[in-house]
Structure 1
Amino acid sequence: MKTEMRYTNQVAVITGAADGIGKAIAQRIAAEGASIALWDIKEEKLKALESEWQAKGIPVKATVVDISDEKAVEKAFRDTIEAFGRLDILVNSAGIVGPTQTKITDYPTAAFDEIYQVNLRGSFLTSKYALTWMEKGGKGRILLIASIAGKEGNPNMVGYSATKAGVIGLVKALGKEYAATGITVNGLAPAVIRTPMNADTAPEQLEYMASKIPMQRLGTVEEVAAMACWICSDEASFTTGFIYDLSGGRATY
């Protein structure tokens, strides 16, 4: 596959970048010329990835960031600007699943609060501070990773479904809010993607979700990265506030 160079001289912040979807997106955008700020809470994996990419000559800076912590997010953006001089792209891929195969009546409120902190509050905070810097440049791309669960709802996963629905609402609101600024805000709603995060999902829940996919297979992180890379490029200049499906035919609307 021929790799284009759509991101030469651009700077991208990718959250949840230590593995899974975030890592794949970061790798694809870096391959197309961008300097990359890798954010995650998994320090060991993050630092190992930074060292590996630096050895390959990729301009990269890894930062341990809890995206639910406002001060940490604000500081991480300042540090990114100091390191690279600009901000062009934010891909917020960090997220957690929380309890599965759990009725709402048995669902721990503390678990719901934890999922909200990462999935929805984290999306709000990263968008808020990315936009603060992008407004100064008059251009930018924000991509928030949502989920098909946020569109359709997965039973027995109320925390994940509700917070990802919140991410979709955030995308739609911000897309309209910034539509005339040169900054686009879009979302991506995958069905089940084969990632390390699936290890935390009950087999019965995973089987249920996979059974809803007409293609009868899981998606790959490479497929997510390919679509994300287009959404964040200058080619996708006339779309904002939109949720792109990547669902193997599960969602067709």
Structure 2
Amino acid sequence: MHASTKRLTASTPRTPRVLKWRVVDIVVASVIGVASGVIFWAWGLAWSPLSALLAFTPGLEGLLAGGWLFAGVLGGLIIRKPGAAVYTEVVAAVVSMLIGTQWGFSTLIWGIIEGLGAEIVLALFLYANWRLGVALLAGAGAGVAVGLLDTTFTSYAALDVGYKAVYIVSAVVSGTVLAGLLSWLAVRGLARTGALSRFAAGREASRVGQTGQNPSGQNPSGQHPSGQDPSGQDGPGESALRQTETPSQTTR
């Protein structure tokens, strides 16, 4: 009889999503928040000179808003648990407030609302979709939040509708790019280094790296995993081997 060869296909089982926070989640989210808070504080120092450069179009300074929005999106993409976006954004706001900002206690209120802007988007996707599009939407959601806050509860509220419209649109664009796109790229970069090995984002990157196959199903050498040419023809040397087989090897 023919000797049959069985191929074992290794498949990585999908682990169920756990939405309960772990200690490592709290620690890493806190670190992200603290580091982001320092950046928030520095961004606040740069606000006045940078906004002066954008004064040629009223409301265009909204493009700077994304510098205060990335913490929530970044934390949400890494932790992937309910409340992560709000938590990291609030921690960042508190840290920048404690260091000292020109906006004082209102920084905390803004942090809560901005974090909610990103959190709501992640919740709409049931904390199950972490693709680029969702990251961009989360950044845009935070941009909408800060745009509405600034044009309603600050001195911008007294300005004309055109100014407010430009400001809100600019804030949304800034949130999409600075908070959404850059945070998504940062997570991918960190995952490749192995720094996120204890998180789903890091494990996903590890699984992709271990496959070693391109989308066509071929390995890097270009040979089909079964040992045959993708067209179904015998591989090199197999045809000659078949011709040299004795009848006792090919009959029952």
Query: When you count helix as a share of all residues, which structure comes out higher?
Result: 2
More strand by share: 1
Rg comparison, structure with higher value: 2
Question: Normalized against structure 1, the TM-score is what?
Answer: 0.29
TM-score by length of 2: 0.29
